[in-house]
Amino acid sequence: MSQYTRWPLPKHDYWSTPFAESLLRHLDLRPGLRILDVASGHGIPAFYLAEQVGPSGDVLAVDISAGQVARARAIQGSQLPWLRFECMDMRSLPPDLPTCDRITGNLSVMFFRPNRFQTVGGLVERLNPGGQLVLTFPSLGTFDSLWQRVDQMMIQKGLVDERARFQDYLHERPSAREGQGWLETLDLERAEAIEYPLEVATGSGQEFLYHPLLRGGFLDVCMNVSKISPSPTGS
């Protein structure tokens, strides 16, 4: 991995960056790799990944939110031409999508609803032999004080439908043990679900409510998912 980067993880993103740092801690990177980054948002850590694999590599970053994709493309401009941002649902990827060496998903599992296990299984099928899948997510029971602040701001803002869907998400967050079960069921060569303390220093509840992860991504996805008939999550 290069010692110098023009595309570091942004210090000002108090939510996405700490999780991205934990993702990179477990990811084996080198020039020339083909990477699929799911739930890519506005590019954390896609820009960093693209710089590390270099022009001999390829990074496809996908997100279901057209707004997030547009924002990432605006940040990118004409730079890192081997990095592409596409509006795509990772729960139903095109069958002709090329396989890849690494699949990453920062704060991604919350967007795999309603069939998280099936989505993870579909991603594993996209890996080349010897490939690596690394996903990060806030597990069951974490950041509850933060969620309470967001919930209070939703009440104050009158976001009735969003609040109901947000509560649904909070009640069905997977645990680290559940994630480990998914990986073991998929019969991967090495499967590990790691849970450890992570400090996320946010602004006010109102400030966090309008973070792109929620306002431009998660809440929009909640609205989309509500149109899908729910089915049990695999374990």
**Rounded to whole angstroms, how far apart are CA atoms 216 and 218?**
7
Among candidate residues 181, 201, 200, the one with its CA nearest the CA of residue 191: 181
Tell me, rounded to whole angstroms, the distance of Cα 176 from its chain centroid. 16
CATH of the domain at 125: 3.40.50.150
Among candidate residues 170, 211, 198, the one with its CA nearest the CA of residue 41: 211
Domain that holds residue 128: 16-139+175-201
In a domain, 150, yes or no: no
pLDDT at site 221: 44
In a domain, 117, yes or no: yes
pLDDT at site 130: 93
pLDDT at site 2: 46
Q: What is the DSSP letter of 109?
A: G
In a domain, 116, yes or no: yes
Roughly how many angstroms between the first and final C-alpha of the chain, as a whole number? Answer: 35
In a domain, 115, yes or no: yes
In a domain, 196, yes or no: yes
What is the tally of structural domains in the chain? 1
pLDDT at site 147: 77
In a domain, 119, yes or no: yes
Per-residue pLDDT of the chain (235 residues), as tens digits, is: 444 568 988 887 777 888 899 999 999 999 999 999 999 999 999 999 999 999 999 999 999 989 899 999 999 999 999 999 999 999 999 999 999 999 999 988 878 888 889 999 999 999 999 999 999 988 776 777 777 877 888 888 888 887 887 787 777 778 888 888 888 898 888 888 887 777 666 665 556 656 655 544 455 444 343 333 333 333 2
pLDDT at site 201: 65
In a domain, 146, yes or no: no
| C-beta of residue 87 within 8 angstroms of C-beta of residue 48 | no
In a domain, 229, yes or no: no
